[in-house]
Structure 1
Amino acid sequence: MSGSDAPEAVAQPRTAAGGLFFDEADRVLLVKPTYKPGWEIPGGYLHPGETPSEGAGREVKEELGVTPPIGRLLVADWAPHPTEGDKLLFVFDGGVLPAEERAQINLDGLEIGEYAFHAADQIDELLIPRLARRVHAAIDARSAAATSYLENGVPRC
């Protein structure tokens, strides 16, 4: 508490989680939303009381129609947005989606219009810069079998 009796303001970030999935050629799965331009990773905002890993799994099921296991946390990114306020974003390792599971992908058609696997060197041209930084950091964390804390997509330590 400060010198006044008013409670101190605390951050109340919007929290989102997604999964990073690959094919056998080590390409990253990206989805194309119907409601805005560009590509994203599968994921979205958490529901009240939902853990980040649960939210990532729910969003993948809603968007892609499949329920692959959600693996370990790759990155946590504190990424305030100029118009949307504080955000805390989690990316989990979805691993390699086997061909049988890829064949079962059934897009929701409402939020997601298409999906494709892309090489890591295409990420910067397909994703907005803050998401591209986060995805690159997640790929690096996966390769190092590590978890990385980011601020605006940039590793802190």
Structure 2
Amino acid sequence: MDLVPFDEYVRSLNRKRMSAGVLFYDREDRVLLVQPSYKPHWDIPGGAVDADEAPWTTAAREVREEIGLTRPIGRPLVIDYLRDDGRFPEGLAFIFDGGLISEPQVADLELTDPEVLFAGLYSLDEATVMLKPSLLARLAVALEAVHSGGLALCEGGKPVNGLG
């Protein structure tokens, strides 16, 4: 039996995109959202995972770059599997716990990244018109995970039965 050369096997493996975001929230479960300059929908601080970068490293880097905060990133709250949607290939989206943030702290954020126009605290009801439905669903699950202490595994923002 002929073996496939290892390098050929490695080249044949699927590649997935990854993103990492951080959920900051206040005592009323309002979440910190940022208004990007490059797309119509709002987001949480975060972004695409670079080559040779761990998702938690991405999360901390993006928070520092986008909103000027340097503080420890907490535990993972959500790992969401995203199917190929025709524009983007399949991938994984991570949400990490950023912890509590207050209105005065949000007002003091240094938004020096040209990718971010504004940041504010919003309830999920208020965010319905600001966010893509998949992110809105993912954030609702992330807030549940904050309160339960769990980790949610999702597909398209919906918890996977028996896993999340």
User: What TM-score does the superposition give when structure 1 sets the normalisation length?
Assistant: 0.88
User: How many pairs were matched up?
Assistant: 155
Go from structure 1 to structure 2 and tell me whether the alpha carbon gap of 1:125 and 1:154 turns closer, same or farther (over 3 Å shift). same
Q: Which moved more, 1:87-96 or 1:100-109?
A: 100-109
- Structure exhibiting the larger radius of gyration computed from Cα positions: 2
Q: Which residue of 2 aligns with 1:51?
A: 54
AA aligned to 1:90 is: F
- Asked if structure 2 preserves the Cα contact closer than 8 Å seen for 1:13 and 1:88, the reply is yes
| Whole-Å separation in 2 of the counterparts to 1:113 and 1:77 | 26
1:11-41: per-residue Cα shift (whole Å, max 9, x none)?
3111110100012433100000001112101
> What secondary structure, in the 3-state scheme, does the structure 2 residue paired with 1:19 have?
strand
Where does the alignment leave 5 or more consecutive residues of structure 2 unmatched? Answer: none
- Are residue 68 (structure 1) and residue 74 (structure 2) matched? no
Instruction: Give the aligned partner of residue 124 of structure 1.
Output: 128
Residue in structure 2 matched with residue 23 of structure 1 by the alignment = 26
Residue of structure 1 equivalent to 2:17: 14
Contact 1:32 1:39 in 2 (8 A): yes
| TM value normalised by structure 2 | 0.85
| Cα distance in 1, alignment partners of residues 126 and 48 from structure 2 | 25
| Code of the aligned partner of 2:80 | D
